[in-house]
């Protein structure tokens, strides 16, 4: 019995010595990885479960010192050095408990007679902190962090990790990608802005959604991200195309009024500057072309001359106000790429500006692509459109322009076949086609005899061919009316099948090729801005044309990238930024036709997103109103960035509870980034004030005060 007791005591002593060495080693390692600020509590059980809540204690001398700053705020990061394995376990602080223990215990030391005088001795007590275990990592090995599942010993040292150690624990890689900002908590920067948060380019191909109320910093974030992409311009950096409804992104090449001097700008964005060139693609409305022809005459009305005049108008309308000065003569040189894409070069103060007028030409597009531009068509209407166009194509090798199909549908509803066909079609041409032909304000009836370039036939002849197909098809009257309404709306958008009268001919403006635009953007290292505000400012009364331009751009991009993929051609990826996304992809609301249109748009964007992920096209959607955004966007975006968000918007979104409670109270430009890019599931980050020119109405009003 004595021998057994002796052996047990010896083994216990050996275990005690081994544990003592492990603890000593843990504290020694802790000093290597950061400042020791506390230890895991001895007075409460340490239970590792799915919630992973750990309690640790901090002594007063540390709590009130500069070392204790890391544990003064909920959301801060600390780490535990686990004695058994030497691994680091990352914790996020959930709650901080402070007590005046002298008052709680009813023990009052001798004090002065003033009962209201503070007693500092009561605050010299231990701080108890609860934190969630997130990730674990062996810092001695080149491995990535994994979810924290390791048991944690009481008395284990708790550290405020050094910036590099914290970056490893959070897996904040320095992979190429746009800068989001500096690591933060809901109330401010971590490590005084020393840690940079990026989104790797590979993550962007899985699509991103940015949500925030007006003024929270969505556009500032997007512009800073774009500037960071073009400041480094790595080999795998994408070409950026920004869909611009407010002319925010045409300001990208201009410097801000003053360079930000905060820690975020000095650290995360220290080498970021505005891009030195820009490509503007903008729809050129029929009415602008008509005014230009009225000025230069139909004899000079070729596409290059019209583009040159349009470039001058655009520069005076949109660029000069940003510069704060008027320029008399503008040097513009226009050329045509590969017979299709017209590009106008302008020497802007910051560097090259390329202006590309954008019009849609349906004469070379398949019927399903035309239908996609007019969402809301019924299945019968789509079939009828396809039948009319294919019948025409068999004889002409081109599809008829919208003027012709709309004219034939109108003639069919007026039962032209019962009367003098020639006279009635002439009436239809005068009512439908001639007012929608750019001819310098002249409604010359002789336009009906002009030959449509490429078809070698007049408007009357082309309408007659389509009308015969309609007579043979015998469509339902409602189908004809539905198709007529949607195609007329498409034609009245003023950017589709813009027809120009030349000398004896009618020319339909060619559609620029996105392949040419991307090649030019890569050559000049320029972001591309699809400016949809300018045509609205020029008098377009609805969003029909701008929406159509955006849909067609996405459609054409995917088709081109798919053709590249099928030929095994590797090129730069493309990142499409869609601000005010709810205006392009709305919820299913309204009448049956509107709901059907919304479903068709959702189907289109779903296909584009799926193909884009595989073919190298990433999408960034931005909105202040997620309740108005189609649910398909919420499903497609694998990364979600939340700036300050109204509570009723946050309720609809799948957000971790500890993040959701902070969203309505976040300061400007501070965000929660929820993404599989981060091992912890999400991080908070803060971007700086704009690094490029950014006209903010509220800011300007505040300045004037």
Mean pLDDT score of the chain: 85
664 and 569 within one domain:
yes
Partnered with residue 121 across adjacent β-strands are: none
Tell me: do 621 and 669 sit in the same domain: yes
pLDDT of residue 109: 54
How do beta strands 53-58 and 127-137 pair? antiparallel
For residue 484, the model assigns a pLDDT of: 92
pLDDT over 80 (residue 94)? yes
Last residue of a domain, one of 145, 170, 195: 170
Whether residue 122 is contained in a domain is answered as no
C-alpha Rg value of the chain to the nearest Å: 33
Q: How confident is the model at residue 327 (pLDDT cuts 50, 70, 90)?
A: low
- For the ranges 264-273, 406-415, 487-496, the lowest mean pLDDT is seen at 406-415
Per-residue pLDDT, averaged over 207-220, amounts to 91
- 116 is a domain residue: no
pLDDT in tens, 139-184: 888 888 888 888 888 889 999 999 999 999 998 888 889 999 999 9
pLDDT higher than 90, residue 598:
no
Give yes or no: residues 15 and 140 share one domain: yes
Say yes or no: 403 and 495 in one domain.
Answer: yes
Looking at the fold, whether 52 and 151 belong to one and the same domain comes out as yes
Name the least confident of 100-114, 405-419, 636-650. Answer: 100-114
Q: Is the pLDDT of residue 257 over 80?
A: yes
Categorize the per-residue pLDDT at 603 as very low, low, confident or very high, splitting at 50, 70 and 90: confident
Beta bridge pairs of residue 629: 586
Residue-wise burial string across 450-478, b where 16 or more C-beta atoms lie within 10 A, e elsewhere: bebebbebbbbbbbbbbbebbeeeebeee
pLDDT value at 591 more than 50 = yes
* CA distances to 170, 217, 676 from 681, in Å: 10, 22, 6
Residue 140: closest CA among 48, 225, 68, 33: 33
State what percent of residues in the chain have pLDDT above 70: 89
**Whole-number pLDDT of residue 703:** 38
| pLDDT classification of 431: cutoffs 50, 70, 90 | confident
- Predicted pLDDT of residue 103: 66
Residue 273 has pLDDT above 90, yes or no: yes
Quick one: tokens of 5? Answer: 């007791």
Q: How does residue 419 score in pLDDT terms, banded at 50, 70 and 90? A: very low
114 occurs within a structural domain: no
Cβ contacts of 476-485, under 8 Å, gap ≥ 24: 476/380, 477/413, 479/378, 479/380, 479/381, 479/384, 480/384, 480/409, 480/412, 480/413, 481/413, 482/377, 482/378, 482/381, 483/377, 483/381, 483/384, 483/385, 483/409, 484/406, 484/409, 484/410, 484/413
Q: What are residue 677's phi and psi, to 5 degrees?
A: -65, -25
Confidence at residue 602, expressed as pLDDT on a 0 to 100 scale: 77
To the nearest 5 percent, what fractions of the chain are helix, strand and coil? 45, 20, 35
Residue 478 shares a structural domain with residue 515: no
Q: Are residues 7 and 152 in the same domain?
A: yes
Confidence of residue 12 (pLDDT cuts 50, 70, 90): low
In the structure, what pLDDT confidence band is assigned to residue 208 with cuts at 50, 70 and 90? very high
Q: What is the pLDDT of residue 582?
A: 85
Over range 488-506, report the average pLDDT: 88
Query: Residue 443, Cβ neighbours under 10 Å: how many?
Result: 10
Do residue 431 and residue 548 come from a single domain?
A: no
CATH of the domain at 192: 3.40.50.300
pLDDT, mean of residues 696-703: 39
pLDDT reading at 698 higher than 50: no
High-pLDDT (> 90) share of the chain, %:
35
pLDDT at 704: 33
User: Are 546 and 679 contained in the same domain?
Assistant: yes
How much is the average pLDDT of 586-601? 71
User: Per-residue pLDDT for 650 more than 80?
Assistant: no
Instruction: Look at residue 68 and tell me if it is in a domain.
Output: yes
28-62: per-residue pLDDT in tens?
888 999 999 989 988 777 777 767 788 898 888 88
Least confident of 93-107, 130-144, 409-423, 482-496: 409-423
Residue 14 has pLDDT above 80, yes or no: no
Separation between Cα atoms, residue 262 and residue 698, nearest integer Å: 21
pLDDT category of residue 428 using cuts at 50, 70 and 90: confident
Are the C-beta atoms of residues 385 and 522 closer than 8 Å to each other? no
Query: Which residue, chain included where needed, has tokens 């789509």?
Result: 382
Rounded Cα distance between 298 and 427, Å, is 24
State whether the Cα torsion 449-452-457-462 is positive or negative.
negative
pLDDT band at 680 (very low <50, low <70, confident <90, very high): confident
One domain, residues 199 and 228: yes
- What is the per-residue pLDDT for 15? 75
Q: Please tell me the least confidently modeled range out of 1-5, 23-27, 307-311, 437-441.
A: 1-5
Q: Which residues are CB-neighbours of 658 under 8 A, at least 6 positions away?
A: 94
With cut-offs at 50, 70 and 90, classify the pLDDT of residue 115. low
Pairing of strands 157-161, 77-81: antiparallel
Residue 300 clears pLDDT 80, i.e. is over it: no
Q: Let me know if residue 118 belongs to a domain.
A: no
324 & 448 share domain:
no
Q: Flag whether pLDDT at 700 surpasses 60.
A: no
Instruction: Quote the pLDDT of residue 151.
Output: 86
Pairing between strand 278-283 and 239-244?
unpaired
**356 pLDDT higher than 70:** yes
CA 687-692-696 angle, to 5 degrees, is 80
115, part of any domain: no
Q: Determine, yes or no, domain membership for 84.
A: yes
Give the domain-ending residue among 476, 497, 526: 526
The answer to whether 338 and 513 are in contact (CB under 8 A) is yes
Q: Contact at 8 Å (CB) between 575 and 241?
A: yes
How would residue 104 be classed by pLDDT, with cut points 50, 70 and 90? low
Q: Which domain holds residue 435?
A: 362-508
- Does residue 333 lie in a domain region? yes
d(CA 231, CA 18): 54
Q: Are residues 561 and 689 in the same domain?
A: yes
d(C-alpha 608, C-alpha 369), whole Å:
13
- Report the domain count for the chain: 4
So what's the pLDDT on residue 196?
A: 94
């Amino acid at each position: 019995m004595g021998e057994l007791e002796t052996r047990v005591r010896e083994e216990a002593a050996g275990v005690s010595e081994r544990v003592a060495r492990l603890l000593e080693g843990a504290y020694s390692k802790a000093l290597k990885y950061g400042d020791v600020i506390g230890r895991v509590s001895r007075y409460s059980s340490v239970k590792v479960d799915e919630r992973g809540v750990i309690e640790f204690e901090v002594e007063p001398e540390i709590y009130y010192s500069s070392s204790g700053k890391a544990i003064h705020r909920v959301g801060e990061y600390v780490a535990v050095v686990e004695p058994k394995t030497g691994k680091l376990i990352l914790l996020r602080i959930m709650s901080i408990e402070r007590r005046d223990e002298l008052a709680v215990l009813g023990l009052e030391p001798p004090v002065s007679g003033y009962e209201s005088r503070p007693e500092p001795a009561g605050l010299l007590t231990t701080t108890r902190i609860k934190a969630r275990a997130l990730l674990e990592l062996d810092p001695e090995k080149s491995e990535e962090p994994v979810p924290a599942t390791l048991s944690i010993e009481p008395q284990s040292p708790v550290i405020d990790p050094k910036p590099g150690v914290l970056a490893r624990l959070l897996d904040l890689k320095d992979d190429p990608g746009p800068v989001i900002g500096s690591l933060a908590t809901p109330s401010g920067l971590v490590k005084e802005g020393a840690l940079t948060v990026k989104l790797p380019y590979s993550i962007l191909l899985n699509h991103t959604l940015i949500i925030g109320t007006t003024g929270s910093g969505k556009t500032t974030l997007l512009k800073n991200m774009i500037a960071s992409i073009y400041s480094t311009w790595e080999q795998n950096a994408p070409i950026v195309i920004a869909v611009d409804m407010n002319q925010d992104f045409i300001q990208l090449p201009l410097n801000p009024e003053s360079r930000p001097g905060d820690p975020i700008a000095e650290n995360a964005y220290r080498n970021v500057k505005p891009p030195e060139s820009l490509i503007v693609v903008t729809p050129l409305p029929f009415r602008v072309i008509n005014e230009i022809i009225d000025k230069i005459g139909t004899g000079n009305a070729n596409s290059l001359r019209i583009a040159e005049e349009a470039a001058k108008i655009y520069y005076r309308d949109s660029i000069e106000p940003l510069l704060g000065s008027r320029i008399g003569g503008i040097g513009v040189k226009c050329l045509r790429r590969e017979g299709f894409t017209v590009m106008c070069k302008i020497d802007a103060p910051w560097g090259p500006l390329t202006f590309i007028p954008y019009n849609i030409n349906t004469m070379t597009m398949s019927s399903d692509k035309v239908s996609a531009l007019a969402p809301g068509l019924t299945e019968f209407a789509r079939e009828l459109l396809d039948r009319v166009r294919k019948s025409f194509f068999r004889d002409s090798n081109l599809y008829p322009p919208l003027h012709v199909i709309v004219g034939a549908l109108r003639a069919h509803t007026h039962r032209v076949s019962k009367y003098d066909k020639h006279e009635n079609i002439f009436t239809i041409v005068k009512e439908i086609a001639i007012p929608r032909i750019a001819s310098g304000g002249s409604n010359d009836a002789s336009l009906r005899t002009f030959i449509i370039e490429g078809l070698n036939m007049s408007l009357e002849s082309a309408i007659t061919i389509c009308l015969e197909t309609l007579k043979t098809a015998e469509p339902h009257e409602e189908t004809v009316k539905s198709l007529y309404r949607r195609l007329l709306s498409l034609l009245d958008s003023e950017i589709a099948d813009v027809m120009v009268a030349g000398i004896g001919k009618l020319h339909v403006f060619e559609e620029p090729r996105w392949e040419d635009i991307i090649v030019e953007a890569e050559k000049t290292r320029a972001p591309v801005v699809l400016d949809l505000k300018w045509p609205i400012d020029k008098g377009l009364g609805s969003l029909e044309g701008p929406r159509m331009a955006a849909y067609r751009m996405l459609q054409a991009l995917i088709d081109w990238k798919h053709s590249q993929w099928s030929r095994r051609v590797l090129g730069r990826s493309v990142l499409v930024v869609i601000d005010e996304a709810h205006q392009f992809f709305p919820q299913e609301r309204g009448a049956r036709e509107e709901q059907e249109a919304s479903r068709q748009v959702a189907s289109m964007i779903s296909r584009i997103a799926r193909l884009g992920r595989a073919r190298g096209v990433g999408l960034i959607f931005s909105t202040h109103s997620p309740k108005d955004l189609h649910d398909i966007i919420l499903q497609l975006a694998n990364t979600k960035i939340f700036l300050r968000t109204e509570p009723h918007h946050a309720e609809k979104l799948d957000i971790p509870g500890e993040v959701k409670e902070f969203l309505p109270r976040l300061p400007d430009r501070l965000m929660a980034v929820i993404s599989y890019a981060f091992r912890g599931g999400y991080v908070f980050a803060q971007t700086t004030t704009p690094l490029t020119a950014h006209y903010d109405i509220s800011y300007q009003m505040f300045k004037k005060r």
